[in-house]
């Protein structure tokens, strides 16, 4: 537990996300909330980890932390803490802010008392996301101040400072990161954590009830706050002009991780430039930017994704009426797509400065290399559910899906995912398909997704009697993002006992009349359940209950129980290949002679393949070593 | 000392690539060398190909440019070739020799090239060091110390801007007391595999 047990002034290696948590601890954060999502997850997981660690040592964690039901709830819980004078932090992935945005947009009108830092972790290149939206627009859209760190050290400092700015402005503040910061490690020098408050107190005020009349009073206040924020931005230590060599005409404007690539490239290419490094990017320090423009004849704007700084600099040039030339996305030197890297930045700079690119064309392997796409784990209960559903209705069914491990069911040989927008969309789109077509529909969502946003569309299906089958894959965890708890688990994010919400009881409460609760490891019974659900006219819900096998095996390990692996009886095997080419557990492989085997090291011992094999050729082999 | 040191670590999810990168980062902090580490989380971990970057010295960020790796440390043969774009002719490519067959190959959708051809091709681009890390780790007492074996081999190639001892101390500080002996054996085994 270096992150809390190291001495102040010590320097330790931290992940960008851990540095944000540490920054919040140094600021004496009282309440932290989240809904998990890559690349933000480790910020909250670190809060969770520390709380459990301290509780085990019978120490009281210095803060309250929760994995909330979804991002909107997370924001609301923390906002109320802030109204009560406490310091709070909410973290989420970029698309999480879409979910929280209804609360967020009006929150800016209302403002805060205790500092509230909202971390939005963007994911350029969609490493683990359904889109690469640029959430810097949310700062402009809502009028929220925003900070963008470049390194773990800066992430920690900015988080600390963000609480102060938030309190000075009485406004929530965005800390916007990208994957390459969240998942980068660097040396971080620690400071002494402030002592958190124990409890806040909510002072009533008519300004906290945003009726139209109050909103009309608050909107001008929001604009005034932004004027004040601009003054902070002008003086911020996070905005600076760096001179490299003997700069004359050229300037470079950069923010976020793009700055890192620029800083090194400028050295490597021996350029003489001024760099305007922007850390507080909303509102921009206009005076500072104008001064910078007055020093340059040409500027290059280097920012990942949207031309947000570039457009603002164009507007500034127009305001001043100067003739500074701008190079960036509009001149085609940089792309609006995907994350940048040193190659991209060096290539663009060498082109603009008409230099020889020092990077030779990278070697590419001549041998063709097999891919390693992510797959459902061996023994994953989702595979069994998919296999059973597919058997129930082999042709023509449409499978709207959702976001989680089970999205991997899109791959061959299962191919059980046809439509996906966002979390919760499976059931909403299922309803739409039932209205628009005569096709049969079976949709799938995980349990964490069910609680997050899957319930309202089920209510829609019941109220309008849509003829759909909606499946909840209840594996008792939020697996995809790192096995976080959710409202259906027995322990909360601080490791304390929590009331476990039962999926089928909620579904029943929504008025669903046909509910099937199945164990997917009994494949035949599960198939029968799907058949009955399909026959039912109107909405039917199948709750498929079996824990994620990784968690189950971890628990077995802790209890000292054995895990049994399976093998194929070569005498009985007739090479029908169903286990490989229809079921597709990744533990199966072909030997050189074409015979089929199970890899001991990979088999997780679910035993489902025994039911899949029509010739009874698969059986228990022994304990996994 | 070199101004910058770039190390690429590659392998398959579950082989301890991220742990190895993390240990290198911690060793650099211990040696008071500036360091950045880049990791992959999320989707890439479900059995996928994993790559991390460790950069030390006069660097400002965690990603390296193509052709600038001082070493590529790979826990699996084809994974070293997959990231060959980071190499130049002086790059030291240190790889374990035991293939991990992707399921796309085991189910017959794709082919795994003959390992000898993989090694032959690597030699066209860079300096190859083969290590039977799986065997060394098993002999040391635990197959999961394979990443530690590889770190021992890396220390022997003299690309690191700090001493072998600092790396070993960092490793031992990060494992429970009862595993210290196994890890020391694994590390020294890896070291000797390169420096006979
Ligand atoms: C709005 C939003 N928040 C968070 C995420 C990140 N995320 C991806 S999948 C997932 C949940 C997965 O849990 P579950 O539905 O239980 O499925 P499992 O992975 O356990 O199979 C989350 C939170 C997201 N994609 N969108
Ligand atoms: S982590 Fe769990 S839920 Fe996800 S694919 Fe693996 S077994 Fe399935
Ligand atoms: S028992 Fe069969 S289906 Fe289950 S993990 Fe092992 S090989 Fe795969």
A406 lines ligand 1 (CB under 6 A): yes
Contacts of B133 (CB under 8 A, 6+ apart): B75, B96, B97, B98, B146, B149, B150, B153, B190, B193
Model confidence pLDDT, tens digit, residues A586-599: 999 999 899 999 99
- Residues A245-256 have a mean pLDDT of 97
Model confidence pLDDT, tens digit, residues B89-117: 999 999 999 999 998 898 888 999 999 99
Give the pLDDT score at B196: 78
- Residues B166-187 have a mean pLDDT of 96
- Residues A446-463 have a mean pLDDT of 98
pLDDT band at A601 (very low <50, low <70, confident <90, very high): confident
pLDDT band at B46 (very low <50, low <70, confident <90, very high): low
- Give all strands of the β-sheet with A184-189 in edge-to-edge order: A11-15, A184-189, B35-38, B49-57, B4-12, B71-74, B92-96, B127-131
Q: Do B41 and A128 touch (CB under 8 A)?
A: yes
Q: Are residues A471 and A497 in the same domain?
A: yes
Say if A375 falls within a structural domain.
no
pLDDT band at A309 (very low <50, low <70, confident <90, very high): very high
Give the pLDDT score at A335: 98
**Residue at which a domain ends, from A202, A231, A260:** A231
Say if A371 falls within a structural domain.
no
Q: Are residues A203 and A64 in the same domain?
A: yes
Model confidence pLDDT, tens digit, residues A255-266: 999 999 999 999
Read off the pTM. 0.98
Give the pLDDT score at A198: 78
Give the pLDDT score at A394: 64
- Residues A359-368 have a mean pLDDT of 94
Say if A389 falls within a structural domain.
yes
**CATH code of the domain in which A263 resides:** 3.40.50.920
Q: Are residues A498 and A571 in the same domain?
A: no
Q: Are residues A271 and A222 in the same domain?
A: no
Q: Are residues A548 and A595 in the same domain?
A: no
Residue A337 structure tokens: 């797509």
How far away is chain A from the Cα of B196, in angstroms, using its nearest Cα?
30
Q: Are residues A107 and A209 in the same domain?
A: yes
Q: Are residues A536 and A579 in the same domain?
A: no
Say if A144 falls within a structural domain.
yes
Atom of ligand 2 nearest to the CA of A381: 8
What is the spatial distance between Cα B180 and Cα A369, in angstroms, rounded to a whole number?
Answer: 37
Q: Are residues A165 and A289 in the same domain?
A: no
Give the pLDDT score at A78: 98
- Residues A264-288 have a mean pLDDT of 98
Ligand having the closest approach to the CA of A547: 2
The neighbour count for residue B138, using CB atoms within 10 Å, is: 15
Give the pLDDT score at B43: 60
Q: Are residues A337 and A452 in the same domain?
A: no
Q: Are residues A391 and A294 in the same domain?
A: no
Say if A60 falls within a structural domain.
yes
Give the pLDDT score at B44: 58
Residue B11 structure tokens: 């392998």
Say if A370 falls within a structural domain.
no
Q: Do A12 and B84 touch (CB under 8 A)?
A: no
- Residues A510-527 have a mean pLDDT of 98
What is the spatial distance between Cα A504 and Cα B23, in angstroms, rounded to a whole number?
Answer: 46
Q: Are residues A104 and A147 in the same domain?
A: yes
What is the spatial distance between Cα B152 and Cα B54, in angstroms, rounded to a whole number?
Answer: 16
**Residue at which a domain ends, from A554, A581, A614:** A554
- Residues A355-368 have a mean pLDDT of 94
What's the domain range around A168? Answer: 2-231
Which of A79-88 are b and which e, b meaning 16 or more Cβ less than 10 Å from the residue's Cβ? bebbbbbbbb
Give the pLDDT score at A373: 87
Model confidence pLDDT, tens digit, residues B136-145: 999 999 999 9
Model confidence pLDDT, tens digit, residues A219-245: 999 999 999 999 999 999 999 999 999
Q: Are residues A335 and A484 in the same domain?
A: no
- Mutation pick from B7, B26, B41, B83 vs chain A, by most beta carbons of A within 10 Å, is B41
State CA A498 to chain mean position distance. 24
- Respond yes or no on whether ipTM tops 0.95: yes
Is the CB of residue B42 less than 8 Å away from at least one CB of chain A? yes
Contacting residues of A for B36, CB less than 8 Å apart: 151, 184-186
**CATH code of the domain in which A410 resides:** 3.40.50.970
State CA B108 to chain mean position distance. 29
Helix (H) or strand (E) holding A282: strand A280-282
Q: Do B46 and A405 touch (CB under 8 A)?
A: yes
Domains and CATH numbers, chain B: 4-195 (3.40.920.10)
Please give the mean pLDDT across all residues of chain A: 97
**Residue at which a domain ends, from A496, A529, A554:** A554
A29: nearest Cα among A56, A65, A80, A3: A65
Residue A100 structure tokens: 């929280």
- Contact present, B127 and B93 (Cβ < 8 Å): yes
For residue B65, the 8-state DSSP code is: P
Question: What's the structural domain count of chain A?
Answer: 4
Give the pLDDT score at A395: 80
pLDDT band at A407 (very low <50, low <70, confident <90, very high): very high
What is the spatial distance between Cα A447 and Cα B43, in angstroms, rounded to a whole number?
Answer: 19
Say if A328 falls within a structural domain.
yes
Helix (H) or strand (E) holding A161: helix A152-169
- Give all strands of the β-sheet with A540-545 in edge-to-edge order: A442-446, A469-474, A540-545, A514-518
- Mutation pick from B19, B47, B166 vs chain A, by most beta carbons of A within 10 Å, is B47
Say if A502 falls within a structural domain.
yes
Residue B1 has pLDDT above 90, yes or no: no
Q: Do A184 and B65 touch (CB under 8 A)?
A: no
Contacting residues of A for B104, CB less than 8 Å apart: 370-373
- Residues A158-164 have a mean pLDDT of 98
């Amino acid at each position: 537990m270096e992150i809390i047990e190291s001495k102040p002034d010590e320097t330790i290696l931290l992940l960008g996300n851990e540095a944000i948590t540490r920054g919040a601890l140094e600021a004496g954060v009282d309440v932290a909330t989240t809904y998990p999502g890559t690349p933000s997850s480790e910020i909250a997981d670190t809060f969770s980890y520390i709380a459990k660690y301290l509780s085990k040592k019978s120490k009281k964690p210095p803060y309250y932390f929760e994995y909330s039901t979804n991002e909107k709830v997370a924001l609301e819980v923390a906002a109320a803490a802030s109204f009560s004078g406490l310091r709070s932090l909410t973290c989420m992935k970029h698309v999480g802010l879409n979910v929280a945005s209804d609360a967020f947009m009006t929150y800016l009108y209302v403002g805060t008392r205790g500092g509230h830092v909202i971390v939005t972790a963007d994911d350029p290149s969609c490493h683990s996301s359904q889109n690469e939206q640029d959430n810097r627009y949310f700062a402009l859209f809502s009028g929220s101040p925003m900070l963008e760190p470049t390194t773990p050290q800066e992430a920690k400092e900015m988080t600390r400072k963000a609480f102060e700015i938030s309190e000075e402005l009485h406004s929530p503040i965005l800390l916007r990161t990208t994957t390459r910061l969240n998942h980068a490690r660097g040396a971080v020098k620690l400071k002494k954590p402030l002592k958190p408050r124990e409890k806040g107190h909510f002072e009533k005020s008519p300004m906290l009830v945003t009726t139209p009349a109050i909103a009309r009073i608050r909107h001008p206040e929001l604009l005034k706050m932004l004027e004040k924020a601009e003054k902070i931005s002008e003086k911020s230590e996070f905005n600076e002009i760096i001179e490299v060599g003997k700069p004359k005409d050229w300037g470079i404007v950069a923010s976020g991780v793009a700055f890192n690539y620029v800083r090194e490239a400028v050295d490597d290419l021996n350029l003489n430039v001024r760099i305007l490094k922007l850390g507080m990017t909303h509102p921009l320090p206009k005076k500072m930017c104008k001064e910078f423009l007055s020093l340059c004849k040409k500027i290059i704007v280097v920012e990942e994704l949207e031309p947000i700084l570039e457009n603002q600099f164009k507007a500034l040039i127009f305001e001043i009426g100067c003739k500074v030339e701008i190079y960036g996305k509009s001149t085609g030197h940089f792309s609006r797509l995907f994350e940048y890297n040193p190659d991209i930045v060096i290539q663009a700079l060498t082109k603009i400065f008409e230099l020889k690119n020092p990077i030779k064309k990278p070697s590419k392997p001549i041998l063709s290399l097999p891919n390693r796409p992510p797959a459902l784990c061996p023994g994953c209960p989702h595979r069994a559910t998919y296999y059973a559903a597919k058997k129930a209705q082999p042709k023509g069914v449409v499978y709207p899906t959702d976001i989680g491990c089970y999205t991997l069911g899109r791959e061959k040989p299962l191919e059980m995912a046809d439509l996906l927008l966002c979390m919760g969309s499976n059931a909403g789109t299922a309803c739409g398909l039932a209205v628009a077509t005569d096709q049969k529909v079976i949709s799938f969502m995980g349990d964490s997704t069910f609680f997050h946003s899957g319930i309202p569309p089920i209510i829609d299906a019941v109220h309008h009697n849509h003829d759909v089958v909606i499946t909840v894959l209840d594996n008792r965890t939020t697996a995809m993002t790192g096995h976080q708890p959710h409202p259906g688990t027995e322990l909360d994010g601080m490791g304390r006992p929590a009331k476990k919400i039962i999926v089928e009881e909620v579904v029943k409460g929504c008025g669903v009349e046909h509910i099937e609760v199945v164990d997917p490891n009994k494949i035949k019974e599960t198939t029968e359940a799907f058949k009955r659900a399909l026959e039912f006219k109107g909405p039917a819900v199948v709750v498929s209950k079996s824990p994620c096998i990784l968690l189950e095996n971890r628990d077995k390990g802790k209890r000292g129980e054995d895990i049994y692996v399976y093998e194929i009886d070569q005498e009985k095997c007739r090479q029908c290949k169903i286990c490989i080419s229809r079921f597709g557990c990744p533990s199966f492989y072909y030997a050189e002679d074409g015979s089929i085997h199970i890899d001991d090291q990979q088999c997780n011992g679910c035993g489902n393949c025994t039911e899949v094999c029509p010739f009874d050729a698969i059986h228990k082999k022994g304990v996994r070593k | 000392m070199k101004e910058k040191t770039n190390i690429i670590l590659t392998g398959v999810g579950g082989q301890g690539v991220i742990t190895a990168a993390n240990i290198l980062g911690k060793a650099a902090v211990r040696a008071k060398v500036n360091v950045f580490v880049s990791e992959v989380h999320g989707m890439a971990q479900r059995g996928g190909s994993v790559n991390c970057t460790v950069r030390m010295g006069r660097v400002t960020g965690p990603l390296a440019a193509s052709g600038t790796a001082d070493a590529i440390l790979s826990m699996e043969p084809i994974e070293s070739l997959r990231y060959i774009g980071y190499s130049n002719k002086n790059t030291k490519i240190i790889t374990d020799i035991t293939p991990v067959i992707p399921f796309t190959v085991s189910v017959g959708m794709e082919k795994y090239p003959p390992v000898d051809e993989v090694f032959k091709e690597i030699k066209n681009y860079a300096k190859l060091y083969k290590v039977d890390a799986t065997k060394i780790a098993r002999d040391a007492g635990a197959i999961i110390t394979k990443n530690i074996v590889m770190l021992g081999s890396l220390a022997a190639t003299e690309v690191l801007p700090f001493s072998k001892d600092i790396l070993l101390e960092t490793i031992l500080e990060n494992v429970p007391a009862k595993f210290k002996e196994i890890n020391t054996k694994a590390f020294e085994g890896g070291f000797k595999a390169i420096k006979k």
